[in-house]
Structure formats: structure tokens, C-alpha cells
Amino acid sequence: MTRKLFGTDGVRGRANTFPMTAEMALRLGAAAGKFFRRDGSIAHRVVIGKDTRLSGYMLENALTAGLTSTGMNVLLLGPVPTPAVGFLTRSMRADLGVMISASHNPHQDNGIKFFGPDGFKLSDDAEAEIEAILAGEIDLAEADQIGRARRIEDGRGRYQEFVKTTFPPGLRLDGLKVVIDCANGAAYRAAPEVLWELGADVIPLGVTPNGTNINDRVGSTHTQTAAEAVVAHGADVGICLDGDADRVMILDAHGSVADGDQIMALLASRWAAEGRLRGGTLVATVMSNLGLERFLTGRGLRLERTAVGDRYVVEAMRRGGWNLGGEQSGHIVMTDYATTGDGLIAGLQVLAEMARTGQTAATLVDQFATVPQMLKNVRFGAGSAPLEAEAVKATIAQAEQRLAGKGRLLIRKSGTEPLVRVMAECEDEALLTAVVDEIVGAVRAAV
């Protein structure tokens, strides 16, 4: 079965525009309810979390209506990180978890992500089945079997207590000054509170959400604000989360940024030394830097690459029995702790190394020399297929020939935005720039 509505991370789009309308959210909720009630039983429940976007209220209500109309009982968590939904779906014995968020996107966008009863995101096949149900008539529950909805007041607190259990016993963060940038998003209360309870001197940023300022010049995709705060306050480290807190970037005391590749290199090497890295393997996507692969190979470890998207990283980890993976963009997946990327837990792992070793963030998150890499995005309109244009195909073929034996090239459509992503790696930076610019020019011309 094929998927059209679902992308690499659920359903996503501009709020109040298809497919992110109240009507579609209601039908999607009903379709998901029917999918999970196929056995005909009535004791089904679903947990719903959201980030801080204004449109979250609209979509939350619509999803609740759709789910209860098919007999699902709904537990509303309010603003919580995406990994909290994965955790609470399993902890509360729910059949389904739903997160309303567009992650790092601006407030005008929103999205809906589904989690199964095991706390992991639904598979492509499950999403395709929900789409098939959505396309037909959806049977509603009898009047006496309509579901109920209630708010869960302590969902965030349950998640926070769990997160603290992932920090090594006996360690504290006393003496560490930490800038935490919550992107005015879902972790705006959870992250500062956890850090403070573990002993850190906390400088919070992005903790005043108003519905429209999520990811606005703050967070993991806009690290400059946090970098300035780190330097101004003389902080030891900065932790930048995105809007739903499943991504993280680490800043050292000078404000320099370490991405997911450097964080994964640190964790992989330390876990391997402790005998904790299952199969001696780290799972990452095709976007991860060649330098990371060389770093791992030099230590007798292995990099398993997947398609872009943390869901594909997790699927590969589960198939192979591996326990560490992630993306250059900051999704760090540690299945010993969580079922999806968790920016706060990943940040705590870095802080734990600082507390344990006494080393600075600058030392810990500078694990390898990166191979020069360039990524440029080209936005395209609805109905456009620039990668199908013959001129674009020819330009890409020429670029591959020029890079043969010298680097690598990756061209793909984003699964969450109408963008063509052009990425290349090459030791020869002049060649790197020329190749990327030529392809970008060809794609723009096609658009």
C-alpha cells in the first residue's frame, strides 16, 4: 500500500490549509480510531500531546472529536515533548499516541504524528492502512459506545521524573552553568525544571510561548540567540531544543555549535568503551558526515546508514538490535531510554560526561574533523516535480562524474516541507561549491 497523506514524520502542512484543517483532523482521528478498534473491543484509549502552536487547540479538539466518535477514550496531556508522548503511550497502556506538532517548522505549520502501543512511531504500512480507511466511509460508534475525553494534569511531571532516571545515579550538575533554549516550544517547562532539579545553574531561553513564537529565532535551528547568551553569561554549555524537543544541538562555552553527528560520535565511543554499544554499531542517515564514518571505523565500530527520517533510523535499530542512532539534525535515539529522538535526554548524556570527566563541552563534542559538506534547499510549488526535469537529471549526472572517487552527492525531496535538498561532500571545497551551485541552479530553473 502507498502513502500520499503521510510524509517521513506524520501528516504535516500549513495550519487551516489541507491537510491541516479541523475537518481533516477530525476524519484522521476517526480513521485512526477505526484502525485501532478493528477487534471490536471498547476498552481503547489514546493519549494526545501537543506543542505550543496556536493551531494546536483547533487540531486537538478536532482529533478528540474524531477519536471519540469511533469509541476511543482520549487522555489529553497538553503541551509536552514528542518523546513524552511515546513514553506515556506505553506507560499509560494506551493503544495509540498522537503528537500535534510540526517540530522545527514555523508556527504557521502543524503536523500530526502517531505512536503505536509500544511507544514507537507507526510503520509506513500502518499509516497506509489509515489512509485507506480515511478514503472510505468510516463507521461510527453506537451512541452508548462513544468515547470519553479527560485531561491528565500530571503527564509532564511523569515524563520529567522518568527523564531524571536516565541521568547516572550519584552524579549531579552542581557548578555547571547551563543555557537551555526551549524554542518557545513543548519543553518550555520540562527542560529547565529537570536541569534545576539535577543541580545545574539554569539560564532559560525560549520559555515564553505565545502561540506564534515557536522556533522564532530560537531553538536548534536558530542557535545564535543561545550562543550569545552562553557567552554573555559565561555559561559552561548551551542546549538548544527544537519546538517539540526531539532534536538537540550542543553549544560549547564559546558558542560554537556541535550537531547530531558530533553528539553521536561522543556517545558511541563512550558506550563502546563501557561495553554498552550493541553490535558495535551506530545507526545514522545518509546525511551524516563522512567524518563520522571514518571516526567510527578507526575505532573498530560500524556506521549503518538509512534513509532520512528518524523513523527509518529507529526501524533499522529495531531490526538490527542496535541501541544508538540518530540524525545530523539532532535527533538522538537511545532505545535503552526512549522510543524516539529525545533532545533533553541526549543533552543530559553530554552533561553527564562533563560532570563525570571534568572535561569541557568544547573537548567532548569535538570528536572528529568533518569532511566539507554543503547543503542547499530549493523551495518548489504544488504540482512541481523539478527532479523529473531532463536538464536537472543531466546536471546531477555530470556532478556525480566530477565527484567520482572524491566525494558523494545526495539529492532528495524533503519529507516534511516542499523543498529539494541538495547535499554534497568533498575534500576539494572549490569543487564542492561548484557542484552544489550548478545543481541548485538547474533545480531553480526547473521550478
161-171 confidence digits (pLDDT tens): 999 999 999 99
The predicted structure's pLDDT at residue 40: 57
Q: Between β-strands 11-14 and 373-379, what pairing exists: parallel, antiparallel or unpaired? A: unpaired
Residues 6+ apart with CB under 8 A from 104: 183, 215, 219, 220, 221, 242, 243, 247, 329
CATH of domain 11-155: 3.40.120.10
CB 282 within 8 A of CB 301: yes
Mean pLDDT calculated for residue range 356-379: 95
How remote is the C-alpha of 266 from its chain's centroid?
19
The DSSP result for 87-135, as a single string, is HHHHHTT-SEEEEE--TTS-TTEEEEEEE-TTSSBPPHHHHHHHHHHHT
Q: Between β-strands 332-334 and 324-326, what pairing exists: parallel, antiparallel or unpaired? A: antiparallel
Asked if residue 283 has pLDDT above 60, the reply is: yes
Phi, psi torsion values for 398, nearest 5 degrees: -65, -40
Rounding to the nearest 10 degrees, give the CA dihedral for residues 69, 75, 81, 87: -110
Asked if residue 360 has pLDDT above 90, the reply is: yes
249-274 confidence digits (pLDDT tens): 999 999 999 999 999 999 999 999 99
Q: Between β-strands 248-251 and 237-241, what pairing exists: parallel, antiparallel or unpaired? A: antiparallel
Nearest C-alpha neighbor of 333 from the set 317, 348, 319, 320: 317
Single-letter amino acid, residue 446: A
210-255 confidence digits (pLDDT tens): 999 999 999 999 999 999 999 999 999 999 999 999 999 999 999 9
| Catalytic, out of 103, 269, 288, 329 | 103
Report the chain's C-alpha Rg in angstroms.
22
The predicted structure's pLDDT at residue 381: 85
Question: Is 256 one of the annotated active-site residues of the chain?
Answer: no
Same fold, 174-256 and 373-446: no
Instruction: Give the CATH fold of the 174-256 domain.
Output: Alpha-D-Glucose-1,6-Bisphosphate; Chain A, domain 3 (3.40.120)
- Could you give the CA distance from residue 171 to residue 162 in angstroms, rounded to a whole number? 16
- Could you give the CA distance from residue 314 to residue 121 in angstroms, rounded to a whole number? 9
Indicate the average pLDDT of the chain: 94
Instruction: Quote the pTM value.
Output: 0.91
Instruction: Give the CATH fold of the 260-342+357-364 domain.
Output: Alpha-D-Glucose-1,6-Bisphosphate; Chain A, domain 3 (3.40.120)
The grid coordinates of residue 54 equal 496556536
The predicted structure's pLDDT at residue 9: 82
Using alpha carbons, list the distances in angstroms from residue 262 to 104, 155, 360: 20, 32, 14
> 3-class SS at 54?
coil
Asked if residue 1 has pLDDT above 70, the reply is: no
- Could you give the CA distance from residue 415 to residue 105 in angstroms, rounded to a whole number? 13
55-111 confidence digits (pLDDT tens): 999 999 999 999 999 999 999 999 999 999 999 999 999 999 999 999 999 999 999
Higher per-residue pLDDT: 2 or 204: 204
Q: Where are the domains of the chain?
A: 11-155, 174-256, 260-342+357-364, 373-446
How remote is the C-alpha of 229 from its chain's centroid?
24
CATH of domain 373-446: 3.30.310.50
Asked if residue 2 has pLDDT above 70, the reply is: no
